[in-house]
C-alpha cells in the first residue's frame, strides 16, 4: 500500500516511481516468460471482453433467445477460440474501460470494435484487422453548416468517448459530447441537442436512419482489431494465425456477410495503409495547466448541477412536505396522497433510471438540454428525500408552541409561517446539508446523459493517458475541496441545533 | 351583559364523561375558578372554550360569535379563530415561542394576527411587559427566563390581544408562594380593568386570593363551593 499513498504526495514522486518499478520487476519475474497462450489453452477458455451496450451487430442479446448473446464478434470469437482449441467466454465490460480491464487481467482479449490507433498500438498488442470501417458524419436535414470535419469547429458533435472519432474531433475544434450507447447520439441529433454525429459506418447504417437525419459523408477510415496485453506475443501470434486462416477459408467473409457487413472495401482497404497510424503517438497522462483547467471545469459543472438540483430539491421538497401535513379536507388529503406517491416513486427507483427516462424517454414530449435534464433529474429525485427530512423536522416542532399560536388566533397558514416552519427548517438544516454532500457525489451519474462533469472528465483523461492514480487523486481532491466546506457547514448547523433555544 | 356564556357543554372520552351539560356565564370583570383533582378534565374544559378541543355537544358564545360543537369543520375552525381573538389563553407550560425573544412573543399577536404595524404595537407591548414585571427581560430568549418570568411573559402575550376573557390553566404550578402572591395581585388588577378571568387551579389559597366564584368539577358536574 505504501507506494499508492506516496503517489498522492507530490514531494515523494521519486520514491513512488522507485516503488512502481520495484513492483513491475516483481510482477515480471513472477510471470516468467510469455506463457499467455499456454495459460489460455490450459484453462480451455478464451475470455474475451466486450460491452453489450455496443448493440447490434457487434455483441448483443439475441432477441429470439433472451439471455444468449449473438453478433458478428460473438461468431468471430467462437471461430478464434475453436482455432486455438478452446471455447470462448464473453466478459461484460464497459466499452470505455476495456483496455485498462485487459491490462489488469479481467479477460485475455478485447474483441469489440476496438480501433487501431497509434496510442493503442503503443499500449497493448493489436492483432491484424478483422474489419475496416469508415467514419460517417451525420447531420439534420437542411443543416448546411455540417459539410466535413473542418466544418465542425464550435459545433456540438456526439460520439462514443475514447474512440478514434473522439480523438479526431478534438483537433477539429468540435465540442465533443460523449455517449455510452450507439442509439442515443442519433436520438439527440434528431432532437436538435447535437449538430452532428460522427460514428463508424456499421453504427451509422443501423442506428442513423432517424427521421430528419442524413449521412453527410465519410471523413475517415479505420480498422477493428483484437487486443491483448503487451508482452503476450504468443497469444497475439496465435490470434493472427487464426485470423489468417479464417480469412483464407472464407469464414470471416461469411460471418461478415451474414451480418450484412461485407463490402468491397474489406478487400480494398486491406492493402492501403491506415491514415490514423501516421499521427503522432500521444503522451501518458500529464498534469498540464490545460489538463488542470479541464478538471476544474468538470468540478465547476459538478458544482453548478448540484447547486441547481439542490435548490429545486429544497423548494419542491418543502412543498411536498407541506402537502403531506394532515388535514380534514378531502382535496388536501388527495394532494397528500399524490405527494406520498411522488416520494415513494422517486425514492424507490434508481436515480439513473430517472435520468434516462427524463432525457431519452421523454425526449419526444419535452426536449431538455443535458444540463437542464441533469439538474432537473437530480433535483426531482432529491426532493423526495428533502420532503422526508422536512416531515421529520415538522414532527419535531414543539406541539405546545403550535397550540399557543392557534390560541392567539393564528390561521393554520400563519402558524405554519411564524412557528412551524422556522422550527422545522432549523431542525432540517443538518440533514439538508448532509444531503447536499451526497448529491455532489451522486451528480457523477449524469455523465450517462452526456454531461462531462468531474468524474467523467477523470475517466476520459485516465483512459486517454493510461493512468488512473493521478487523475483519480486529482478528482478526489476536487470533490473533497467542494464537500469539506459543506461538511463543516452541516456540523455547525448541528452544533447550533444542539445548543438549542429551549 | 355576559362576555362568555356556555350552553349545555358536554364532553366524554369514550365511556368516561368529563363534563356534562355545563351552562355558565361570565360578566365583564367577573372571575371564576374551577378546582378539582388532577385528571378530572378541568384543562379539557378550558380548551373547549376557545376551540383548541371540540366538545361533543353544546355551544360557547363570546359576543356575537358562537362555537357550536356540532358545526362542520370549516365553520368550527372559523368560529374558533374569531373567539380566540377575544379570549386569551395562558398555558400551564407557558409555551412561549422559543425561537423569538420575549418582546417578539408579545408582538406576535398584534403584528401578525391583528396586522397592527410594529411601530404602533411596540409601546403597548413594552407597557404590558412593564405591567407584568418582565420589561427588563424584553430582549431575552424565553429559555433564559425563570419559570415565574416565563409565566408573566405568557400572560403579557395573551393580554396583547386585548382579550375580554383570560383563560388560565394552572398558572401557579411552577411558582413559589411569593411569586404566586404577585401573580394574584396582577390578576386582580386585570379584573379591575374589566377583564373576565376563568382560572383552573388546585391552589386553594390562590383561588381565594383572586376573590372569584369557586366551582369544583365533580362527577362531570360543576358544583358551586366555598372552600
Distance (Å, rounded) from C-alpha B157 to C-alpha B165? 14
The yes-or-no verdict on residue A393 having pLDDT over 60 is: yes
* ipTM, two decimals: 0.93
Cβ-nearest to A401 among B52, B84, B95: B95
pLDDT, tens only, A227-286:
999 989 999 999 999 998 998 898 999 999 999 999 888 876 555 544 444 344 455 677
Cβ-nearest to B109 among A401, A408, A500: A408
Q: Say if residues A355 and A445 touch (Cβ distance below 8 Å).
A: yes
> Helix-strand-coil percent breakdown of chain B, rounded to 5?
40, 30, 35
Find out whether the peptide bond into A57 is cis, omega within 30 degrees of 0.
yes
Residues 311-350 of A with CB under 8 A from B: 328-329
Inter-chain CB proximity B84 and A407 less than 8 Å: yes
Confidence class for position A6, pLDDT limits 50, 70, 90: very low
Q: Which of A308-312, B138-142, B218-222 has the least mean pLDDT?
A: B218-222
- Could you give the maximum distance between any two Cα atoms of chain B, in Å? 52
Contacts of A423 in chain B (CB under 8 A): 98-99
pLDDT score, position A421 = 93
Beta bridge partners of A177: A158
Ramachandran region of residue A210, left (φ > 0), alpha (ψ -120 to 50) or beta? beta
The three three-digit cell numbers of residue A263, written as one number:
463490402
Return the H-helix or E-strand segment holding A324. Answer: none
Q: CA nearest A196: which of A228, A236, A168, A237?
A: A168
pLDDT, tens only, A28-46:
334 445 889 999 999 999 9
Confidence class for position A12, pLDDT limits 50, 70, 90: very low
Beta bridge partners of B87: B165
pLDDT score, position A382 = 97
Instruction: Give the DSSP per-residue string, A231-291.
Output: T-HHHHHHHHHHHHHHHHTTHHHHHHHHTT---THHHHGGGSPPSGGGSPPPPPP---HHH
Instruction: List the alpha helices (DSSP H) in A72-130.
Output: 72-84, 98-103, 118-123
pLDDT, tens only, A83-96:
999 999 999 998 88
What distance in Å separates residue A341's CA from the closest CA in chain B? 27
Distance (Å, rounded) from C-alpha A301 to C-alpha A453? 5
Closest A-chain CA to B150: A502
Beta bridge partners of A196: A139, A157
pLDDT score, position A17 = 39
Distance (Å, rounded) from C-alpha A356 to C-alpha A335? 27
Among residues of chain A, what percentage have pLDDT more than 70?
89
Distance (Å, rounded) from C-alpha B49 to C-alpha A74? 82
Angstrom distances, CA of residue A462 to CA of A125, A284, A471, B194, B220: 19, 9, 6, 83, 81
Distance (Å, rounded) from C-alpha A197 to C-alpha A283? 27
What distance in Å separates residue B214's CA from the closest CA in chain A? 25
What distance in Å separates residue B98's CA from the closest CA in chain A? 6
The three three-digit cell numbers of residue A215, written as one number:
449521412
Q: Which pTM was predicted?
A: 0.74
Distance (Å, rounded) from C-alpha A14 to C-alpha A424? 54
Residue B17 CA to its chain's centroid (Å): 23
In the sheet that holds B16-27, the strands lie side by side as: B16-27, B2-13, B57-62, B65-68
Contacts of B110 (CB under 8 A, 6+ apart): B116, B121, B124, B125, B160, B161
Cβ-nearest to B84 among A401, A408, A414: A408
Confidence class for position A372, pLDDT limits 50, 70, 90: very high
Distance (Å, rounded) from C-alpha A344 to C-alpha A403? 31
pLDDT score, position A362 = 86
Strands (E), chain B: 2-13, 16-27, 31-35, 57-62, 65-68, 87-90, 165-169, 196-200, 213-218, 221-225
A413–chain B Cβ distance below 8 A for any pair: no
Q: Say if residues A69 and A77 touch (Cβ distance below 8 Å).
A: no
pLDDT score, position A276 = 41
Work out the angle at residue A20's Cα, subtended by the Cα atoms of residues A16 and A23, and round it to the nearest 5 degrees: 140
Inter-chain CB proximity B112 and A502 less than 8 Å: no
Among residues of chain B, what percentage have pLDDT more than 70?
100
To probe the interface with A, which of B99, B151, B174 has the most A CB atoms within 10 Å?
Answer: B99
pLDDT, tens only, A327-370:
888 999 999 999 999 999 999 999 999 998 998 888 778 878 88
pLDDT, tens only, B1-56:
789 999 999 999 989 999 999 999 999 999 999 998 878 889 999 999 999 999 99
Contacts of A400 in chain B (CB under 8 A): 91, 93, 95
Inter-chain CB proximity A426 and B99 less than 8 Å: yes
Q: Quick one: average pLDDT of B85-104?
A: 94
Closest A-chain CA to B49: A407
Inter-chain CB proximity A403 and B157 less than 8 Å: no
Inter-chain CB proximity A409 and B85 less than 8 Å: yes
Distance (Å, rounded) from C-alpha A278 to C-alpha A471? 28
Q: Say if residues A193 and A157 touch (Cβ distance below 8 Å).
A: no
HSE, side-chain direction, 13 A CA sphere, residue B155: 29
The three three-digit cell numbers of residue A328, written as one number:
380534514
pLDDT, tens only, A140-171:
999 999 999 999 999 999 999 888 899 899 89
Amino acid at each position: 500500500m505504501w507506494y499508492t499513498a506516496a503517489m498522492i504526495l507530490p514531494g515523494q514522486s521519486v520514491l513512488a516511481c522507485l516503488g512502481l518499478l520495484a513492483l513491475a520487476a516483481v510482477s515480471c519475474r513472477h510471470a516468467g516468460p510469455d506463457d499467455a497462450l499456454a495459460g489460455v489453452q490450459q484453462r480451455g477458455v478464451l475470455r474475451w471482453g466486450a460491452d453489450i451496450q455496443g448493440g447490434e451487430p457487434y455483441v448483443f442479446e439475441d432477441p429470439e433467445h433472451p439471455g444468449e448473446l449473438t453478433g458478428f464478434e460473438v461468431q468471430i470469437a467462437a471461430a478464434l477460440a475453436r482455432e486455438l482449441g478452446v471455447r470462448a467466454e464473453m466478459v461484460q465490460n464497459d466499452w470505455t474501460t476495456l483496455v485498462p480491464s485487459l491490462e489488469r487481467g479481467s479477460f485475455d482479449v478485447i474483441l469489440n470494435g476496438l480501433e487501431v490507433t497509434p496510442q493503442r498500438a503503443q499500449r497493448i498488442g493489436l492483432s491484424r484487422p478483422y474489419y475496416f470501417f469508415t467514419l460517417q458524419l451525420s447531420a439534420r436535414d437542411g443543416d448546411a453548416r455540417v459539410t466535413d470535419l473542418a466544418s465542425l469547429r464550435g459545433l456540438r458533435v456526439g460520439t462514443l468517448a475514447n474512440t478514434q472519432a473522439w480523438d479526431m474531433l478534438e483537433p477539429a475544434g468540435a465540442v465533443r459530447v460523449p455517449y455510452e450507447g450507439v442509439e442515443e447520439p442519433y436520438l439527440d441529433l434528431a432532437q436538435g441537442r447535437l449538430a452532428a454525429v460522427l460514428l463508424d459506418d456499421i453504427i451509422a447504417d443501423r442506428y442513423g436512419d432517424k427521421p430528419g437525419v442524413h449521412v453527410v459523408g465519410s471523413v475517415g477510415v479505420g480498422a477493428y482489431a483484437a487486443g491483448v496485453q503487451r508482452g503476450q506475443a504468443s497469444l497475439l501470434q496465435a490470434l493472427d494465425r487464426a485470423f489468417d486462416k479464417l480469412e483464407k477459408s472464407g469464414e470471416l467473409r461469411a460471418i461478415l456477410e451474414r451480418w450484412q457487413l461485407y463490402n468491397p472495401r474489406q478487400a480494398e482497404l486491406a492493402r492501403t495503409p491506415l491514415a490514423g497510424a501516421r499521427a503522432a503517438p500521444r503522451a501518458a497522462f500529464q498534469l498540464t495547466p490545460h489538463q488542470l483547467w479541464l478538471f476544474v471545469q468538470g468540478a465547476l459543472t459538478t458544482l453548478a448541477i448540484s447547486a441547481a438540483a439542490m435548490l429545486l430539491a429544497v423548494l419542491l421538497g418543502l412543498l411536498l412536505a407541506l402537502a403531506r401535513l394532515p388535514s380534514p379536507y378531502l382535496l388536501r388529503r388527495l394532494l397528500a396522497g399524490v405527494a406520498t406517491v411522488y416520494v415513494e416513486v422517486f425514492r424507490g427507483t434508481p436515480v439513473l433510471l430517472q435520468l434516462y427516462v427524463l432525457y431519452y424517454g421523454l425526449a419526444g414530449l419535452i426536449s431538455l438540454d443535458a444540463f437542464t435534464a441533469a439538474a432537473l433529474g437530480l433535483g426531482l429525485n432529491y426532493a423526495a428525500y428533502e420532503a422526508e427530512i422536512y416531515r421529520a423536522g415538522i414532527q419535531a416542532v414543539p406541539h405546545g408552541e403550535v397550540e399557543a399560536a392557534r390560541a392567539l388566533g393564528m390561521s393554520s397558514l400563519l402558524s405554519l409561517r411564524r412557528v412551524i416552519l422556522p422550527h422545522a427548517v432549523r431542525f432540517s438544516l443538518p440533514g439538508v446539508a448532509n444531503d447536499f454532500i451526497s448529491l455532489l457525489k451522486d451528480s457523477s451519474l449524469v455523465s450517462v446523459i452526456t454531461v462531462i462533469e468531474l468524474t467523467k472528465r477523470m475517466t476520459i483523461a485516465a483512459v486517454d493517458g493510461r493512468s488512473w492514480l493521478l487523475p483519480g487523486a486529482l478528482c478526489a481532491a476536487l470533490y473533497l475541496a467542494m464537500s469539506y466546506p459543506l461538511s463543516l457547514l452541516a456540523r455547525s448547523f448541528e452544533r447550533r441545533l444542539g445548543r438549542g433555544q429551549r | 351583559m355576559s362576555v362568555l356564556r356556555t350552553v349545555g357543554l358536554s364532553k366524554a372520552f369514550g365511556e368516561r364523561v368529563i363534563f356534562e351539560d355545563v351552562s355558565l356565564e361570565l360578566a365583564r370583570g367577573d372571575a371564576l375558578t374551577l378546582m378539582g383533582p388532577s385528571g378530572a378534565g378541568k384543562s379539557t374544559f378550558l380548551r373547549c372554550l376557545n376551540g383548541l378541543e371540540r366538545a361533543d355537544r353544546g355551544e360557547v358564545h363570546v359576543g356575537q360569535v358562537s362555537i357550536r360543537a356540532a358545526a362542520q369543520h370549516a365553520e368550527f375552525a372559523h368560529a374558533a379563530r374569531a373567539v380566540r381573538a377575544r379570549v386569551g389563553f395562558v398555558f400551564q407550560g407557558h409555551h412561549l415561542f422559543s425561537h423569538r425573544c420575549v418582546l417578539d412573543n408579545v408582538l406576535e399577536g398584534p403584528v401578525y394576527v391583528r396586522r397592527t404595524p410594529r411601530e404602533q404595537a411596540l409601546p403597548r407591548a413594552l407597557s404590558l411587559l412593564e405591567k407584568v414585571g418582565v420589561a427588563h427581560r424584553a430582549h431575552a430568549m424565553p429559555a433564559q427566563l425563570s419559570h415565574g418570568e416565563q409565566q408573566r411573559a405568557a400572560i403579557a402575550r395573551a393580554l396583547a390581544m386585548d382579550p375580554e376573557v383570560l383563560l388560565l390553566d394552572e398558572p401557579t404550578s411552577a411558582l413559589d408562594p411569593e411569586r404566586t402572591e404577585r401573580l394574584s395581585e396582577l390578576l386582580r388588577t386585570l379584573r379591575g380593568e374589566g377583564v373576565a378571568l376563568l382560572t383552573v387551579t388546585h391552589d386553594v389559597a390562590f383561588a381565594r386570593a383572586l376573590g372569584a366564584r369557586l366551582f369544583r368539577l365533580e362527577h362531570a358536574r360543576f358544583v358551586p363551593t366555598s372552600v
